[in-house]
Amino acid sequence: MEQALEAEDLGKRYGRAWALRDCSFELPAGRVAALVGPNGAGKSTLLHLAVGLLKPDTGRVRVFGREPHGAPATLGEIGFVAQDTPLYRDFTARELISLGGRLNRRWDAALARDRLSALGIPPDRPVGKLSGGQRAQVALALALAKRPRLLLLDEPVAALDPLARREFMQALMGAVAESETTVLFSSHLLSELERTCDHLIVLQTAHVQLSGSVDELLDGHRLLVGPRDAAPPDGVEKVVRAAHTERQSTLLVRSRALPAPAPGWTEREVSLEDLVLAYLADTETRDVETAWEVTA
């Protein structure tokens, strides 16, 4: 399987503080991946390393097998939409499309023009005078016009209202379905994930807590409800998170299918949101044998 993005023991620090540390994961080509984590977790740092704007202090990052820092050929394959869609505000969309044509070898101006016209975005108004949602669409159209193999978006919908968010994500999904582009977007919006991504990377305090295909991750975890203070059933590899009421414990555990329903325990379906929240709530996953009991 070809890897669009790979990190191996990747680390970046600002002064003495690590923004990203011992970070290893693989993102196979063709996936739409969400990069999730709280403020300051290291998401922008990871995206800036992937696009070659930063140089790693430890380890390696590779885009389609090559390190991006100082490698123009690799950069030509990456589209990047930075946080807050920083477009030149006095330029119109038409001018930005034409500017892109002068700066990029493989530039599909017609694709950008057609997208904006289909969305009814005025091409001759300075982008500073467009709405936040329209500006985000212009930034996406420009990134797609580059025909990137890997598209990186840093919190593309953070500033948008729910309707504009939905429209933006639909536009993004539609665009990548028509191409072979691999997408990695950072986001705080857990409820949108299940609908939009098939791969997940969870970052917390500079470390990767979880990464993999959504199907495999969901398959490998269970939500168990049972009597308070009972030991977890056999077959549980790790208790990621435990919450208790007076009489019951709810455990999100890492485990393949359990051999048989353990007496007193019932199993519930795990949503992607449950999974992300469980890993974000914990900075370290626990071994079953050790402190599995965590009061929520």
Ligand X SMILES: Nc1ncnc2c1ncn2[C@@H]1O[C@H](COP(=O)(O)OP(=O)(O)OP(=O)(O)O)[C@@H](O)[C@H]1O
Asked whether position 85 contacts ligand X by CB under 6 A, the answer is: no
Per-residue contact flags (x/-) with ligand X for residues 45 to 64, judged by CB under 6 A: x-------------------
Name the phi and psi angles at 84, rounded to 5.
65, 20
Residues 227-256 that bind ligand X (CB under 6 A): none
Specify the residue, 44 or 137, whose C-beta has the smaller distance to ligand X.
44
Handedness of CA 222, 223, 227, 232 (dihedral sign): positive
What is the spatial distance between Cα 59 and Cα 37, in angstroms, rounded to a whole number? 21
Q: Which candidate, 78, 79, 147, places its Cα nearest to that of 109?
A: 147
* The one among 11, 37, 68, 212 contacting ligand X by CB under 6 A: 37
40 is an interface residue for ligand X by CB under 6 A: yes
Q: Which residue has the tokens 């002068």?
A: 102
Q: Does 43 bind ligand X (CB under 6 A)?
A: yes
Site for ligand X in 91-120 (CB under 6 A): none
70 contacts: CB under 8 Å, gap ≥ 6: 52, 55
Instruction: Tell me whether residue 44 or residue 255 sits nearer to ligand X (CB atom).
Output: 44
- Please report whether residue 133 would count as binding ligand X according to CB under 6 A: no
Size of the site for ligand X (CB under 6 A): 10
Q: Is 243 helix (H, G, I), strand (E, B) or coil?
A: strand
* Position among 39, 191, 290, 295 found at the interface with ligand X (CB under 6 A): 39
Query: Closest distance between ligand X and the C-beta of residue 127, in Å?
Result: 22
Q: How far is C-alpha 141 from the geometric centre of its chain's CA atoms?
A: 20
Among 4, 5, 7, 19, binds ligand X (CB under 6 A): 19
What is the closest distance, in whole angstroms, from the C-beta atom of residue 40 to ligand X in the complex?
Answer: 4
* Residue type for position 179: S
Closest to ligand X by CB, 45 or 85: 45
Residue with tokens 């500017």: 99
> Is residue 196 near ligand X by the rule CB under 6 A?
no
* Residue 44 interacting with ligand X (CB under 6 A): yes
End-to-end Cα spacing for the chain? 40
- Alpha carbon of 290 to those of 181, 192, 224: distances in Å? 43, 34, 18
| 68 touches ligand X (CB under 6 A) | no
Q: At closest approach, how far in Å is the CB of 264 from ligand X?
A: 40
CB atoms within 10 A of CB 49: 27
Written as six digits, the tokens of 96 are: 């930005």
| 41 lies in the site for ligand X, by CB under 6 A | yes
Residue 153 interacts with ligand X (CB under 6 A): yes or no? no
- Distance, in Å, from the CA atom of 140 to the CA atom of 291, rounded to the nearest integer, reads 46
Footprint of ligand X (CB under 6 A): 14, 19, 37, 39-45
